[in-house]
Structure 1
Amino acid sequence: MKLSSRRQALTFLGASALVTAFPARSQDAARYPERPIRLVIPTSPGGTMDAMARLIAEHLSASWKQPVLVDNRPGGNGAIAYSMVSKGQADGYTVLLSISSLVQTALLSKTPTYSIQEFTPLAVVAMLPNAFAVGKHVPANTVQQFIEWAKSQKRGVDYGTSGPGSSGNIMGGTLAQASGIDLVHIAFKGEAPAIQAVMGGQIAAVFGSTGSLVTQARAGNLKVLAVALPNRLKDYPDVPTFSEAGFPAVNLPGWSMAAVPAATPKPIVDRLSAEITRIVQLPEVSARINSFGFQPEGGTPEAARRFLHEELTRWGAAIKAANITPE
């Protein structure tokens, strides 16, 4: 009898704990946010991604009357930022603003330090198209002219990117496969030194963010030949897409997605998603995002989850086609 009574008591206590835990969690969600939020991004301060993060943080802070702090965690093609957030508290106070390396790094790492399943997507914030540019010393003003020139180079043609396994690396490999040219990948520690190298004539070409490359092109420092998007960018209508240039397989736009650790309560997920989408779609914010060379988006957690699944498939196929192996 004593054993039976003890089991009944433990069962009751366990059930009571669960009952009291759920209302507490609901109350936390109802009060959210009641302290500062950290917005983690996988890039260095000063770039266009950093500028977009700070723009969103400023509006979130104004709306919710809580500080929103941008935390730059570059390195490892995003792995440092992604690992930190994936292992963080699932309470809505650590939010990731990723780029497409979230998928690429997971696919290309032999020993990944995070998994996609450790995140709950909030919304696709923006499309971040990469552009392809060449130095002024390269005798080409179109992608086709570049291909013809590259075929005449006996030692191959160097192209720079922000690092191994980056969008630019995958796009470069895809362009080489599709066109039959010999492209030699030069991995830099970030986009800025890659752009400096092509402007200085150390390398022939570079894949990088559209905003950064077009800014340099307008200053006469390099030539932008194509952008990776289904349609031309609103603010850069003179730059053709890779599809228009005859290489649809290279049309692999990047993106930025907001996400939180997987166990974050749904009310907090929904509130974050709705507020980030509202901010991104404000006319003044949308205009700023366009000026960075990005395309503002927004949407629901469900739509973001479907998009992420599709991107895993798309980038997985591109990596295979480009013969890029895990490191």
Structure 2
Amino acid sequence: MFKKVLMTSALLGAALALSGTATAQNYPTKPVRVVVGFGAGGGTDLAARAIAQKLSDALGTTFIVDNRPGAAGNLGADIVAKATPDGYTMLMSNSTIAIPSLSLKLPFDIRKNFIPLSLIALGPSVLVVSPSLAVKDIKGLVALAKSKPNALSFGSGGIGNVTHLAMELLMSSAGIEMQHIPYKGGAPSVVGLLSGEVQALFTSIPTALSQIKAGKVRALGVSISKRSNALPDVPSIAEAGVPGYYAASWYGLLLPAGTPTAVVNTLSKEIVAAMEVSAIRDGMNRQGFEPVGNEPEEFAKFIREEIPRWDKVVKAARIKPQ
């Protein structure tokens, strides 16, 4: 009798395992939800919609973008962390998820509750100043700030926002001090620059592009290690006088921990293929993104390196967790 029970249990376990494998191999059989922890129209949302459409075409099912803004993207991340790990719920997040030191207590751990799927794109910021400011380049801004410590003010999209941290990193790297004036978003911060409330700021390239082209703000440098395809005439900050400088937003897809390997592999293969399509890359370039599209292992390594790097900036700037 005991042997019969053991045999029955073993057969049941094997059947369930085979069922799970078959389900993963047949993936997807229904619509997939792509949760975005930010509102429609922002960089994270635009990146999600670009890749969702391509995955829908490639895998023959609908990838639905579901905007769940709140708590600096953590609301959407928590939804995905707690979702069934079957590949039908994924997260499009950005660099804020890799800065846990900004939060007092998170309901998830990015290192334990997610499987990094692919880094979709980098979103470099651009350092812009008012044309009325008597500086033409990064070296000029650094010299002016050094001659007048804390006399200049800079805006950002909010305390702990990547645009805030990018300036904190620049100040520590260049040995300068400026006053921080946070705004509720990138667009309001640019309005503050145009009105003269602040003299400088980092913002996303799409937010500032029209103002740069119209000559209403002056672009001094981009925050990644090379020039942006959207602003080929603007040097990188590292190139312009602050060696080794690098600070960028990024956009990537993550799955709940425990998602079957077969599902991860299916999605990874299609994402890498999608990111090689010229229409996708060209569209992202026009919007100020730097397309990537790497594999899970590479993205996981990238996140592991991002966490301590930003943690160092947060601590040096003495930013209190919220």
TM exceeds 0.5?
Answer: yes
Shift of 1:15: 3.3
Q: TM-score, normalised by structure 1?
A: 0.89
Structure 1 residues 195 and 42: CA distance shift in structure 2, 3 A: farther
**Residue number in structure 1 paired with 2:101:** 107
Write the deviation string for residues 48-96 of structure 1: whole angstroms up to 9, x where unpaired.
4322321211111122222222122333222122222111121111111
Q: In 1, distance between residues paired with 2:213 and 2:260? A: 46
Q: In 2, distance between residues paired with 1:208 and 1:11? A: 63
For structure 2, list consecutive stretches of 5 or more residues without a partner in the other structure: none
- Whether the 8 Å CA contact 1:136–1:199 is kept in 2: the answer is no
Structure 1, 308-317 or 110-119: larger mean CA deviation: 308-317
For structure 1, list consecutive stretches of 5 or more residues without a partner in the other structure: none
Write the deviation string for residues 184-210 of structure 1: whole angstroms up to 9, x where unpaired.
222323222222222232222222212
- Whether the 8 Å CA contact 1:73–1:81 is kept in 2: the answer is yes
Q: In 2, distance between residues paired with 1:109 and 1:285? A: 34
- Whether the 8 Å CA contact 2:44–2:92 is kept in 1: the answer is no
SS in 2 for 1:248: coil
C-alpha root-mean-square deviation of aligned residues, in Å?
2.2
Q: In 2, distance between residues paired with 1:322 and 1:195? A: 22
Q: 1:54 aligns with which of 49, 63, 67?
A: 49
- Whether the 8 Å CA contact 1:124–1:297 is kept in 2: the answer is yes
Q: 1:281 aligns with which of 276, 299, 311?
A: 276
Q: Which runs of 4+ in 1 moved over 6 A?
A: none
Structure 1 residues 308 and 10: CA distance shift in structure 2, 3 A: farther
Q: 1:196 aligns with which of 175, 191, 204?
A: 191
Q: In 1, distance between residues paired with 2:5 and 2:158? A: 55
Q: In 1, distance between residues paired with 2:244 and 2:69? A: 28
**Residue number in structure 2 paired with 1:225:** 220
Q: 1:247 aligns with which of 242, 249, 268?
A: 242
Shift of 1:11: 4.6
Structure 1 residues 304 and 155: CA distance shift in structure 2, 3 A: closer
1:77 aligns with 2:72: yes
Q: 1:265 aligns with which of 235, 242, 260?
A: 260
1:148-227 → structure 2 map (5 Å cutoff):
148-153=143-148, 156-227=151-222
Structure 1, 19-28 or 150-159: larger mean CA deviation: 150-159
1:29 aligns with 2:24: yes
- Whether the 8 Å CA contact 2:47–2:120 is kept in 1: the answer is no
Residue correspondences, number: 321
SS in 1 for 2:76: helix
Counterpart of 2:212, as a letter, is: A
Q: 2:126 aligns with which of 128, 131, 136?
A: 131
Q: In 2, distance between residues paired with 1:235 and 1:168? A: 18
Q: In 2, distance between residues paired with 1:307 and 1:249? A: 17
Structure 1, 23-32 or 157-166: larger mean CA deviation: 157-166
Write the deviation string for residues 121-149 of structure 1: whole angstroms up to 9, x where unpaired.
11111121122112233232212222233
Q: TM-score, normalised by structure 2?
A: 0.91
Q: In 2, distance between residues paired with 1:42 and 1:187? A: 21
SS in 2 for 1:213: helix
- Whether the 8 Å CA contact 1:77–1:165 is kept in 2: the answer is no
Structure 1 residues 34 and 59: CA distance shift in structure 2, 3 A: same
